[in-house]
């Protein structure tokens, strides 16, 4: 069975609004596509170990990725490793740059669970950065210029040559995300773009 993996943002959870909207839309319009939104820890190496194991359990069945904010960074790393079609929403481009503000003790926005970020955790994010060479046909990128957390122009530069939609205004949560779900589904599942998952 084909699976859509939704990767939530940094310090968020599977209860994020866009994750729930995606799950509900698929249940109503594409019930044949399995939805999974794993709970992602704030540590890059742990996230990648979790997601790589999950993807390798699903393959060779089709796997599609939707990643928001930091989830977009991880989705890009995985899309490059496994040659997967991917939709990114206001993605983090070089997250190691902005994580110093998180050093020390923090709490998950949704669950309240405490966690501590150390300098070596930032190094993990820097080491994962996929750089400029991308399989550009695999990406659809949704940006809003009103993003108050990330500069949308960084993503426009990183994903130039991909299918990029930049909307004026909005915010980091991507206002009216649910209106884009039909187009997201079409991009991910377009039969003409099927990968053979030979990885």
Give 4-35 pLDDT, tens digit per residue. Answer: 999 999 999 999 999 999 999 999 999 999 99
As a residue count, the chain comes to 199
Give 48-100 pLDDT, tens digit per residue. Answer: 999 999 999 999 999 999 999 999 999 999 999 999 999 999 999 999 988 99
The percentage of residues in the chain with a pLDDT greater than 70, rounded to a whole number, is 95
pTM of the model: 0.93
Residue keyed to tokens 């500069």: 151
- Sequence ranges of the domains in the chain: 3-193
23: nearest Cα among 66, 85, 81: 66
34 within 8 A of 4, measured Cβ to Cβ: yes
Whole-number pLDDT of residue 195: 41
| CATH topology (fold) of 3-193 | Rossmann fold (3.40.50)
Kindly tell me the burial class for residue 34, based on how many C-beta atoms sit within 10 Å of its own C-beta (0-12, 13-18, 19 or more).
middle
Query: Per-residue pLDDT for 197 more than 90?
Result: no
Side-chain-facing half-sphere of 94: CA atoms under 13 Å:
9
Coil, strand or helix: which one is 168? coil
């Amino acid at each position: 069975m084909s699976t859509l993996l939704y990767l939530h943002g940094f310090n968020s959870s599977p209860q994020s609004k866009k994750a729930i909207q995606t799950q509900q839309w698929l249940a109503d319009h594409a019930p044949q596509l399995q939805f999974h939104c794993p709970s992602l820890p704030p540590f890059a190496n742990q996230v990648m170990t979790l997601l790589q194991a999950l993807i390798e359990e699903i393959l060779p069945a089709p796997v599609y990725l939707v990643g928001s904010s930091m989830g977009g960074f991880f989705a890009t790393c995985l899309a490059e490793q496994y040659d997967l079609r991917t939709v990114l929403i206001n993605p983090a481009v070089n997250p190691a740059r902005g994580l110093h503000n998180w050093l020390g003790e923090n709490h998950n926005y949704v669950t309240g669970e405490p966690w501590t970020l150390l300098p070596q955790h930032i190094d993990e994010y820097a080491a994962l950065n996929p750089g400029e060479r991308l399989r550009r046909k695999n990406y659809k990128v949704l940006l809003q210029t009103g993003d108050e957390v990330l500069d949308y122009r960084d993503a426009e530069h990183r994903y130039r040559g991909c299918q990029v939609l930049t909307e004026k205004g909005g915010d980091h949560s991507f206002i009216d995300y649910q209106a884009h779900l039909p187009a997201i589904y079409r991009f991910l599942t377009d039969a003409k773009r099927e990968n053979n998952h030979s990885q």
